[in-house]
Structures are given as structure tokens and as C-alpha cells.
Amino acid sequence: MEKANSYTGSVRIRYALIFAVMTALTLLLVALNIVTGSVDIPLRDVVRLFLSGRGTDGGLYGTLGANEVYSTYASIIWDIRFPRALSAMILGGALSLAGYQLQSFFHNPIAGPFILGISSGSKLMVALLMVFGFGLMRQGGSVSLVIAALAGAILSMGFILLISGTVGNMSALVVCGVMIGYICSAVTDFVVTFAADADIVNLHNWSRGSFSGSGWSGVKVSAVTIAIVLILSIYIAKPLGAYALGEEYALGVGINVKRLRALLVLLSSLAAAIVVAYAGPISFVGVAVPHLCKRIFASSRPIILIPGCFLGGAIFCLVCDMIARVAFAPTELSISTVTAVFGAPVVIWVLIDRHRRGYIRSVRHGGLR
């Protein structure tokens, strides 16, 4: 069936349907993530726990707390599973959004925060903070982690921009990104090797990538930041759509290309940094999910794809995190293990598919002029 244009009524209804299904799926998966886990909690108790709410006095710990089993259940659900499900949703969405923005920025189908070394830059800075700046971290709490991650992301991004300005070839750009990733990982490993034991326990879990570390404070910070990123992204959706055709087309309709690019860099770095700060580096979500979303919506309109990618990333990461927790319970897999298994084939499919459809042309990218 030939695709109709993006402005007719029937297509709008289709978009609305897809969004409804994705939202429902996201909510369902959050619920599933809360229900499943290595400890079996009867569904009835989960519902009861939620219905009774968590009051400061009375509530779960008060009335149900009399029974020790209930109090354990309550703690598992409120302190572990619920914030974890929420952070998988928020951070997964953020990662996919960052990937979409980077792909738009570089006009490169396999750009993403992990592949371009942005996540690894953040990882390095956070590792340095964890090992050398522990005092600082206690003071600043999780916000200092975010700042370190953002600094790392922007450093890597700046490096990538410098390279893209001179090399301007899309496969070379990806190779450079992967190399930056390796360098950062090597330095991170070096730091970890010589760190004190107490620091390593924290660092080791985190550096493999996991949504387990984020408690409510992490959920709060990331929810607020990502909400801002999402709103600003929708605000630049219109110019982004014109920019997607190429820089000349953006200039031709009167877009301030420099400002648009600066915003794209900032928003994608911020989103990627938040993810690294709270969940460590997670691979392939940023590359794979935007393409799946484009295919599902059969559209490239940013106003559709920005919320679409967010929901898609949320769904993808909720599924992957559930698999990571449940598949070999009580042993937990690192989230990147699961995302790579599902994400890498998608990337290969994307390359083959685009080649078949004749999309692959070496797009000259001029860098920041």
C-alpha cells in the first residue's frame, strides 16, 4: 500500500491509534515490571499495596507493617521495583530521543549516544568523580553525578564535532566515535583498577549499565530534566523537519541553522548524560529504536517522532529490563547485554534496508560552519 501524505485525516487517525497503543503498552509494562521479579509477590497484594498508598503515618508501613511479610513486599515494590520501572521508562525514552536527535544532526542513520562515544565520555567523568571526588559526591549527591556526566558528554560531543568538521564522511565519523568510546572505556578501566575497594562496588555495577541503582531521588531528577528536554525538543520539531532535508533546505526556508544545531547538541548531550549518570552506559537503544519508530509510524516528521521515539525507547527498555531481571533470576543480567541482543540486529537490518531502498549515499556533512 502506498503511503498517503502526513497531513490527511486518515493518517492522523493512524498516528493517534499508534500513540494510544504505545502509551497503553508503556503503562502495562510498568505494571508488569512491578509485578515480576525474583521475589514472587501475589498480584492481589500488589494491588492492595497500591490502593492503600504509602502514607507517612499509617498507610503501608503502619497498617500492613504489623505483618512482616507485607512490610517486606511494600519495601520491594516502593523502594526497588517501582522506581526502577519508572527510571527504565524515563531513561529509555531519553536515550532513544537522544539517538534520534543525533541521527538528525549528523544526517547519519547509525549515530547514537553510545556509538559516537558520548555515553563513554560521560562514563569516564562519572567514574573519575566516583573514585577521586567521593567527598564532593556526598555533598552534591546525585546532582554532581549529572554534572560530571554532562561535562563528559559535552567533551566527547565537542571532539566529535571537531572531527566531523574536518572529516565530513559519515562512516569515518562513526569510526571516530567508536574509537573515542574505546579510549574513554580504557581510561575508566584504568581508574577502576587502581580505585579503593569500597568505591569499586558502586562503580562496577554502574559501569556495566543497570536501572537498579536509581532510587526515588534519581527518578525525580531525571523526570524533571527529561520533561524539559522533551518539551524543548517538541519546540524545535518544526525546524528539525526542514533541516532533515539538508542544510540548504533549512537555510532556504529561513531557519537559523546554527542555533538549531546548538540546541540539538545540547539537548541530546543532556539526555544522554542523565541516562549515564543514573543507569550507566546502555548500548543500542539510541540507534535501534528511532528506526523502529520511523517504520512503525511510516513517517519522518519530528513532531510525531519525538514523542514516538520517547515512548518507543521506554517500551524497549522496560521489556529489556524485565528480561534482564527475570530471565536468569536471581542472577541479573546487565541491561546492555539485553539491549545489544535486540538492538544490534535492528541496526544491521537498517543498513541492509536502506541500501536496498537506495538511501545510502555518502552525504557530505560540512560540520559546524
Apex 19 CA angle, 281 and 229, nearest 5? 45
Exposed, middle or buried, 269 (CB in 10 Å: 0-12/13-18/19+)? buried
Pick between residue 192 and residue 303 the one whose CB is nearest to other proteins. 303
Pick between residue 54 and residue 107 the one whose CB is nearest to other proteins. 107
CB of 310 to other proteins, least distance (A): 17
Pick between residue 81 and residue 291 the one whose CB is nearest to other proteins. 291
Question: Residues 6 or more apart from 63 whose CB is under 8 A from it?
Answer: 52
Determine if 53 is a binding residue for other proteins (CB under 8 A).
Answer: no
b/e per residue 39-69 (b: at least 16 CB within 10 A): eebeeeebeebeebebeeeeebbeebeeeee
Residue of 242, 275, 292, 306 interacting with other proteins (CB under 8 A): 242
CB of 306 to other proteins, least distance (A): 12
Which grid coordinates are listed for 291?
A: 528506526
Pick between residue 236 and residue 276 the one whose CB is nearest to other proteins. 236
CB of 342 to other proteins, least distance (A): 22
What count of other Cβ atoms lies within 10 Å of the Cβ of residue 137?
A: 19
Pick between residue 37 and residue 290 the one whose CB is nearest to other proteins. 290
CA atoms within 13 A on the CB side of 102: 36
Residue of 42, 359, 360, 368 interacting with other proteins (CB under 8 A): 359
Task: Tell me which residues in 244-273 interact with other proteins (CB under 8 A).
Answer: 244-246, 248-249, 251-254, 256
CA pair distance 227, 70, nearest whole angstrom: 34
Nearest-CA neighbor of 98 among 319, 309, 308? 309
- With beta carbons less than 8 A apart as the criterion, state whether 28 and 85 touch: no
Pick between residue 127 and residue 236 the one whose CB is nearest to other proteins. 236
Q: How many of the chain's residues bind other proteins (CB under 8 A)?
A: 33
CB of 242 to other proteins, least distance (A): 5
CB of 210 to other proteins, least distance (A): 34
Pick between residue 3 and residue 138 the one whose CB is nearest to other proteins. 3
Nearest-CA neighbor of 354 among 63, 110, 40, 34? 110
Which residues of 87-207 form beta strands (DSSP E)?
none
Determine if 169 is a binding residue for other proteins (CB under 8 A).
Answer: no
The residue range among 40-48, 75-83, 89-97, 232-240 that interacts with other proteins, by the rule CB under 8 A, is 232-240
Binding mask 329-358 for other proteins (x = CB under 8 A): ----------------------------xx
Task: Tell me which residues in 68-97 interact with other proteins (CB under 8 A).
Answer: none
CA distances from 222 to 92, 191, 231 (A): 11, 27, 14
Determine if 6 is a binding residue for other proteins (CB under 8 A).
Answer: yes
Pick between residue 298 and residue 323 the one whose CB is nearest to other proteins. 298
CA pair distance 253, 360, nearest whole angstrom: 25
Nearest-CA neighbor of 149 among 272, 313, 287? 272
CB of 214 to other proteins, least distance (A): 33
Q: What is the largest CA-CA distance in the chain?
A: 70
CA pair distance 275, 359, nearest whole angstrom: 31
CB of 6 to other proteins, least distance (A): 5
CB of 300 to other proteins, least distance (A): 4
CA pair distance 196, 164, nearest whole angstrom: 38
Task: Tell me which residues in 262-321 interact with other proteins (CB under 8 A).
Answer: 294, 297-301, 303
Residue of 14, 54, 107, 220 interacting with other proteins (CB under 8 A): 107
Q: State the residues that interact with other proteins by CB under 8 A.
A: 2-7, 107, 235, 237-238, 241-242, 244-246, 248-249, 251-254, 256, 294, 297-301, 303, 357-359, 363
